[in-house]
Amino acid sequence: MSQYVFKMKKGELEIEFCSDDAEFVEQQLEKWREEILKKTQQK
C-alpha cells in the first residue's frame, strides 16, 4: 500500500505528515491550502 508523506518546512522547523490514507491526505492538503489562502484574503 502506498504511503504518502507531506512535508512542510519553514526554516529549521519541519512538519511531516505521513499516512496511507490518500483521501485524508488530499483533504488535509486542500484544507491547509485553503487556510493559507483564507488567511491571506482576510488580511
Summarize as ranges the residues that interact with other proteins (CB under 8 A): 2-22, 24-26, 28-30, 32-33, 35-37, 39-40, 43
Shortest spacing between CB 7 and other proteins, in angstroms: 4
Shortest spacing between CB 6 and other proteins, in angstroms: 6
Shortest spacing between CB 23 and other proteins, in angstroms: 9
Residue pair 23/31 in contact (Cβ under 8 Å)? The answer is no
From residue 33, alpha-carbon distances to 1, 2, 18, 39, 40 in Å are 26, 23, 17, 10, 11
